[in-house]
A and B are shown apart, each in its own frame.
Chain A
């Protein structure tokens, strides 16, 4: 029973992390039809920033990580994707792959191929005893961070006129422009929000590992992309839910698969993904059977 609760808390935490990463991808995809693989490199940049600045105090390191996430995200939009407005989603995806590999090489040049390490919030790596059950503080912190961010984001999306513009653009970009919603504003907003979410994911992941290398964000973004697709990448909350499910399933499989099968954990996750996509090709949370074009 104790092990079940511990693994449930861990799975909720893993789901929350991937949910945030997938939400970042969904926000951008909803507006410009870009599944941004280079989102991983934004996570990496924020991760490096946390490693290098943590000694200055969390109140310095976290705002800097957010700033770097937002700036890099906006630079990607201004420097690359804004110049490809008429490109197809497939072309945009390939461009984001290229950008991802380019930035990984840049990180290698700047920080070497070795991981950079620092004890980031070591107190969160401790476990606490709750009614006889050992729970890692980081898992609880991750769930709280994700909850607070999601609450703030939902309030922003549903209450502010900027958030409504973003939702409108994600639902129907052409009509949004015909109504008078400025395209550049909502696109910039979606990239900025994805940068903030990348910083949050980077924080949780650096606390977990204490080390960041040039490909730090790649495994996160691969699973987040898969999650976003199975949830319904063109629906903001679909991407979030899909990311959560993949993170949750991955963590639960890691806890419950027999040890001689744990090496095949990802194979089981991908098998589940394939089954979901065969049954619901547009995603779990999207009604209808076709993807919007």
Chain B
């Protein structure tokens, strides 16, 4: 596969709910080994974009993962093409143990070879999960649940990891832990697409950040824009 095909390419992605457009012709590129941000106000269409990429909601447009068209595939099949989503609100399986949540994450692997290595990698990235491996996921703190949700997604060994508002409701320390882990994941060669409300933080962290407004990408920001208040204000308020 040519290296230029690696990563995620989205073209003309549109989503509508009961005829009301939520996402309008979005184009996105998430190259391998890059962290890309997607910011915008509430209701801009950020979560809908991620769910459409995963095939979880009806949409129009094309989505290519590592050069392969995944349109029309069910979410469980999209995962097997090498892309995973950490959903907004974490959605860990609260009644199951940390260990079982991670086991379930491995169901979406393209090959079961190397799953023990992936588990070691995840537990190295988030040591708290090793400590609490037999604890019910619902009993973890918000920050620990976020680590588990990311760890569960990583168990599928994705090339592209998408995260929907990973800092939502977390303490500053927990946010640091999550973004330190994302930096490590990126440095391991995986692509990261992160949807966030915290514009300044996201723009500084990512190589490129798309601004979504009313379902349309209105701006593309670079890390140096992170401290430019005018640009960030424009990103949110138009």
Contacts and interface: CB of A to CB of B under 8 A. Distances in A.
Interface of A: 161, 164-165, 167-168, 171-172, 174-183
The secondary-structure label for the interface of chain A is: helix
Contact of A181 (B84, B85, B104): B104
B8 to A, nearest CB: 16
12 contacts: A164-B104, A171-B94, A172-B93, A179-B107, A179-B156, A180-B75, A180-B79, A180-B84, A180-B105, A181-B107, A181-B108, A183-B74
A193 B76 CA distance: 22
A56 B191 CA distance: 63
A177 B104 contact: no
Contacts, number: 65
Interface string B100-114: 100111011100000
A174 B55 CA distance: 11
Interface of B: 54, 56, 74-76, 79-80, 84-85, 87, 91, 93-96, 100, 103-105, 107-109, 152-153, 156
Contacts of B87: 175, 178
A181 B56 contact: no
A177 B74 contact: yes
A178 B85 CA distance: 7
Contact of B56 (A164, A167, A177, A180): A177
B96 A179 contact: no
B107 A165 contact: yes
A175 B107 CA distance: 13
A229 B75 CA distance: 31
Contact of B103 (A164, A176, A183): A164
Nearest to B108: A180
Name which of A167, A175, A179, A183 has the most chain B CB atoms within 10 A of its CB: A179
Nearest to A174: B56
Contacts of B74: 177, 182-183
Contacts of B156: 179-180
Nearest to B50: A178
